[in-house]
Amino acid sequence: MIKIGFSNKFTRTIFYEVFTEPSRLAIIEKLNSPLFNQIKSGVGFTSYKIFIRTKTQQNTIYFVKQQETVIIVGYQLGKSDFLDGRKDSHFDTLFYILTQMDESERTNKF
């Protein structure tokens, strides 16, 4: 089983607070698939991506592989920008998701 890490607290918060349990399990399942075990650890910053399809939108997870660890570096939730926690607008998007969306809407999207 591969170990999952995060590039910062922002990416960790999105993974655990925004994504639903079925989406998290789908991400872990895809990262543990034999296809991703063939990806070699890069010397540079080579990021890969996986797609998780929910009822209403497609979410993209960007990651880097380092030895036996996968580091999640960012997300694209639906048609949003690449969210990695380096801009104030990324925190505004996270704040909106956590405070303004009701639970059923979050379940359908994430």
Q: What is the per-residue pLDDT across 26-53, written as a single tens digit (0 to 9) for each?
A: 999 998 888 777 776 655 667 888 999 8
Domains of the chain: 3-109 (3.30.2310)
* DSSP assignment string, the chain: --EEEESSHHHHHIIIIIS-HHHHHHHHHHHTSHHHHTSPPPSS---EEEEEE-SS-EEEEEEEEETTEEEEEEEEETTS--B-S-SHHHHHHHHHHHHTS-HHHHHHH-
Q: Whole-prediction pTM value? A: 0.85
